[in-house]
Chain A
């Protein structure tokens, strides 16, 4: 009673003191509430969308960009590019006077040159590169597209010209350079760090050419960036950009409503209608190429048997999941490619729900008694799967119908991914968001043998027939021929079922109505270069 009284007086005092206007710092800064911490600050080394959202578009530029509407390639750091007639050599002309970040820990002496490009991409493929093994020599995206065997040599043929020589033609090569995983690093900064004996700082105190430069990272608390005043596209509207790390969904939403966050990643679908009722918050919807799926660890028994996988696929009720987990804000998946991809196979049948048939299939392989398995449910909310735990519970109930006992397993996100990469799971509920418009970006990172080795193939599935199909699709430049291969590949997947595709989701962000200019690329992360505050 008295305590509350004192408290009320205190709060009234503090409020009256700061009510008149917002301090300048607030007006010139933007807060994005992220759902998790970044793994590091080099997109080459990561796969998680969280890291990509925080790092890629804000700190770095790529050689090429993707047009969000058409999926076509646009010039970025490269102003022009040329493909040789045999498809084995690509020449890029670089933009002039692109400045690297000037920060409290590094002062660049020169603008971007071909050396930076050579340094950046050699790091991925050259084991003798001084930075190759920093962080274990793991470059998940590039390993999944078999980059080291694809690219033969990268040379600087002039200060503003760089040449990529390939070992074989690859129709997805340019698209790979435009992904958020292919930032351009500074060779000068790397050399300075080597001289200081501090190479690990290259990926923790990043220097790039992007619209914002790095200031500080308080682990699991926040990432602070400031405007890059000499950015080649012109300075960003906001002076300061802070990524506040708030893993809890409800808390993130609360912070949006209290205006502690300006932009909230991945609002819960269940709360979308609630948010739209508020006058101070808007919901932005954008198309995204992604798929949420349930992958079986095909290296483990009984999941190495096709019939078991088919039975499990038949046992789950996809429409119930769409209703309960996605609140019908997603498209039911027929295969891993979203219907918006040009290579999508229109003939794929919709997912069936037939527990009786599933039981019959299990009986065929002598598992009529059922068995026990683990379902790993990722602990975070992702676009392709807003609530993996709930989905796991639904699947658990469905599996009980066919006599399969499922245990739900979850760990903290970084631990989860590490254990997953080690292949410790039986099955996992996870997904994939595309990095470029090329259909190959769904197949190879998810289901190729190369990806099974690096662990991004969550099904640990390595099938020579399928790999051959992918390889054929890549070596042809003819779009119709490629389409043919991809349709065969999708039919093959439909029959083999290394994973069960569940849904393709839209991407939503909840944004304060006073913030404008936030753009989301359908193939990658969020870009806050153009974000600004209106009528502050």
Chain B
């Protein structure tokens, strides 16, 4: 296990190294002055220019520049945003929690809906009900989410007027940002309209969470179903049944535990897709998360922000991937052999 962990960590390090080299090279690959691209400053006077060239080692070799770049990144100096002239890291910390909040709820929803439905679909694979679950999963899997999202907005917001069409919270509620996670911030705040705000935040969460959860739920259903069908034929299940355990006991103790292993791995593998979908969802629902921020930055030709967004999102995806893989290995002794 130790060797496995070390190998994984080494791999993680290598990937991050490659990523940082790529991010560094973007400073030169983007159009414009590399000094502006690295610092994010719009107007640089000559004194400042000299000072920055010194600090960024721009007159030295690329290797030295890269080391200087890496040092800055590690120290938390990610430069400024072209459009707001605010430190990028600060901006990212303002938008990242919104994305994490949305993806977490979507993942939870897909887990609590997808796993039971997957099990149900596997129990009697030829029953009409179970077939229709699989059918729904296939439709959900192939549904373009921007279209699906617009349909839901049309129905629940515009036509029925039940749910808001976008945003995280009604704009008239003023909730001070502490953690960046809306529900937690509301609970921490001591405003007179805490209950109303909480309800409002909840209503704002429903449509985006549902939209974002669609894809992982269908993946979850299909995976749990396949894994269950697979496990259900194993000899140890037959043994368990022969021992006289009832259906629920077999399912829980012997079936589910083994069937859920590949699901853990799936969560990691699907995370990058989920982030991509989260970006789309954020744009459609005006969700002020990192996806919308990054897409706005692209429109605004905000090169330092694109660079920083790329670094943070890739690091997040790679780390989550690695973590789930480690978890998977931890729970599954068979995988450790590789």
Q: How far does the Cβ of B70 sit from chain A's closest Cβ, in whole Å? A: 28
Distance in angstroms between the alpha carbons of A254 and B202 in the assembled complex: 20
B 155-188 binary contact with A (CB < 8 Å = 1; else 0): 0111001111111001111100000000000000
Which residues of B lie under 8 Å from residue A246 when comparing CB positions? 286
Task: Pick from A10, A31, A219, A258: contact of B161, CB below 8 A.
Answer: A258
Which residues of B lie under 8 Å from residue A221 when comparing CB positions? 288
Which of A11-19, A69-77, A84-92, A490-498 lies at the binding interface?
A11-19
CB pair B171–A244 under 8 Å, yes or no, is: yes
B 278-320 binary contact with A (CB < 8 Å = 1; else 0): 0000000010100000001001110000000000000000000
B 83-120 binary contact with A (CB < 8 Å = 1; else 0): 11010000100000000000000000000010001000
Q: How far does the Cβ of A428 sit from chain B's closest Cβ, in whole Å? A: 18
Task: Please give me the residue from chain B that is nearest to A379 by CB atom.
Answer: B299
CB pair B113–A222 under 8 Å, yes or no, is: no
Please judge, given known A-B contacts A255-B165, A414-B300, A415-B301, whether A29 and B117 are in contact too, CB under 8 Å: no
CB pair B300–A260 under 8 Å, yes or no, is: no
Q: How far does the Cβ of B160 sit from chain A's closest Cβ, in whole Å? A: 9
Interface residues of A in 223-245 (CB under 8 A from B): 224, 240, 242, 244
CB pair A258–B170 under 8 Å, yes or no, is: no
Question: Does B338 count as interface, using CB distance less than 8 angstroms?
Answer: no
Question: Does B193 count as interface, using CB distance less than 8 angstroms?
Answer: yes
Task: Pick from A6, A11, A15, A412: contact of B300, CB below 8 A.
Answer: A412
CB pair A255–B166 under 8 Å, yes or no, is: yes
CB pair A25–B193 under 8 Å, yes or no, is: yes
Question: Does A220 count as interface, using CB distance less than 8 angstroms?
Answer: yes
Which residues of B lie under 8 Å from residue A257 when comparing CB positions? 158, 161
Please judge, given known A-B contacts A25-B193, A259-B161, whether A136 and B43 are in contact too, CB under 8 Å: yes
Q: How far does the Cβ of B190 sit from chain A's closest Cβ, in whole Å? A: 15
Which residues of A lie under 8 Å from residue B265 when comparing CB positions? none
Task: Pick from A15, A23, A219, A411: contact of B162, CB below 8 A.
Answer: A15
Distance in angstroms between the alpha carbons of A206 and B203 in the assembled complex: 33
Please judge, given known A-B contacts A29-B172, A221-B288, whether A14 and B117 are in contact too, CB under 8 Å: no
Question: Does A24 count as interface, using CB distance less than 8 angstroms?
Answer: yes
CB pair A258–B174 under 8 Å, yes or no, is: no
CB pair A23–B286 under 8 Å, yes or no, is: no
Question: Does A7 count as interface, using CB distance less than 8 angstroms?
Answer: yes
Distance in angstroms between the alpha carbons of A246 and B217 in the assembled complex: 31
Distance in angstroms between the alpha carbons of A57 and B171 in the assembled complex: 21
Task: Please give me the residue from chain A that is nearest to B214 by CB atom.
Answer: A3
Distance in angstroms between the alpha carbons of A25 and B172 in the assembled complex: 7
Task: Pick from B43, B136, B157, B196: contact of A25, CB below 8 A.
Answer: B196
Q: How far does the Cβ of A365 sit from chain B's closest Cβ, in whole Å? A: 35
Q: How far does the Cβ of B118 sit from chain A's closest Cβ, in whole Å? A: 12
CB pair B299–A254 under 8 Å, yes or no, is: no
Which residues of A lie under 8 Å from residue B199 when comparing CB positions? 14, 17-18
Task: Pick from A218, A258, A411, A415: contact of B288, CB below 8 A.
Answer: A218
Which residues of B lie under 8 Å from residue A25 when comparing CB positions? 170, 172-173, 193, 196
For the side of the interface on A, what is the size category? 35 or more
Task: Please give me the residue from chain A that is nearest to B156 by CB atom.
Answer: A11
Distance in angstroms between the alpha carbons of A319 and B217 in the assembled complex: 53
Task: Pick from A136, A220, A254: contact of B157, CB below 8 A.
Answer: A254
Which residues of A lie under 8 Å from residue B259 when comparing CB positions? none
Question: Does B15 count as interface, using CB distance less than 8 angstroms?
Answer: no
Question: Does A201 count as interface, using CB distance less than 8 angstroms?
Answer: no
Which residues of B lie under 8 Å from residue A260 when comparing CB positions? 164-167, 170-171
Which residues of A lie under 8 Å from residue B300 when comparing CB positions? 412, 414-415
Which residues of B lie under 8 Å from residue A31 when comparing CB positions? 171-172
Q: How far does the Cβ of A413 sit from chain B's closest Cβ, in whole Å? A: 9
Question: Does B206 count as interface, using CB distance less than 8 angstroms?
Answer: yes
CB pair B217–A18 under 8 Å, yes or no, is: no
Which residues of B lie under 8 Å from residue A17 when comparing CB positions? 199
Task: Please give me the residue from chain B that is nearest to A226 by CB atom.
Answer: B174
CB pair A251–B166 under 8 Å, yes or no, is: yes
Question: Does A26 count as interface, using CB distance less than 8 angstroms?
Answer: yes
CB pair B132–A1 under 8 Å, yes or no, is: yes
Question: Does A346 count as interface, using CB distance less than 8 angstroms?
Answer: no
Which residues of B lie under 8 Å from residue A347 when comparing CB positions? none
Which residues of B lie under 8 Å from residue A109 when comparing CB positions? none
Question: Does A471 count as interface, using CB distance less than 8 angstroms?
Answer: no
Question: Does A301 count as interface, using CB distance less than 8 angstroms?
Answer: no
Question: Does B153 count as interface, using CB distance less than 8 angstroms?
Answer: yes
Task: Pick from A23, A219, A258: contact of B165, CB below 8 A.
Answer: A258
Question: Does B210 count as interface, using CB distance less than 8 angstroms?
Answer: yes
Distance in angstroms between the alpha carbons of A222 and B172 in the assembled complex: 10
Task: Pick from B156, B193, B203: contact of A23, CB below 8 A.
Answer: B193
Task: Please give me the residue from chain A that is nearest to B205 by CB atom.
Answer: A14
Which residues of A lie under 8 Å from residue B161 when comparing CB positions? 257-259
Distance in angstroms between the alpha carbons of A255 and B163 in the assembled complex: 11
Distance in angstroms between the alpha carbons of A220 and B163 in the assembled complex: 23
CB pair A3–B113 under 8 Å, yes or no, is: yes
CB pair A11–B163 under 8 Å, yes or no, is: yes
Task: Please give me the residue from chain B that is nearest to A262 by CB atom.
Answer: B172
CB pair B165–A7 under 8 Å, yes or no, is: no
Interface residues of A in 402-441 (CB under 8 A from B): 411-412, 414-415
Which residues of B lie under 8 Å from residue A414 when comparing CB positions? 83, 300
Please judge, given known A-B contacts A14-B199, A136-B43, A255-B165, whether A219 and B170 are in contact too, CB under 8 Å: no
Which residues of A lie under 8 Å from residue B210 when comparing CB positions? 3, 7
Which residues of B lie under 8 Å from residue A15 when comparing CB positions? 162
Distance in angstroms between the alpha carbons of A260 and B203 in the assembled complex: 13
Question: Does A215 count as interface, using CB distance less than 8 angstroms?
Answer: yes
Task: Please give me the residue from chain B that is nearest to A239 by CB atom.
Answer: B172
5 other contacts beyond A25-B196, A258-B158, with CB at 8 A cut-off? A25-B193, A240-B174, A242-B172, A260-B166, A260-B170
Q: Mind listing 18 A-B residue pairs with CB under 8 Å?
A: A2-B113, A3-B113, A3-B136, A3-B210, A11-B162, A18-B200, A25-B172, A25-B173, A26-B172, A216-B174, A219-B91, A220-B296, A254-B165, A255-B165, A257-B161, A260-B165, A260-B166, A412-B301
Question: Which 6 A-B residue pairs are closest in the complex by CB-CB distance?
Answer: A29-B172, A23-B196, A412-B299, A242-B171, A258-B157, A412-B300
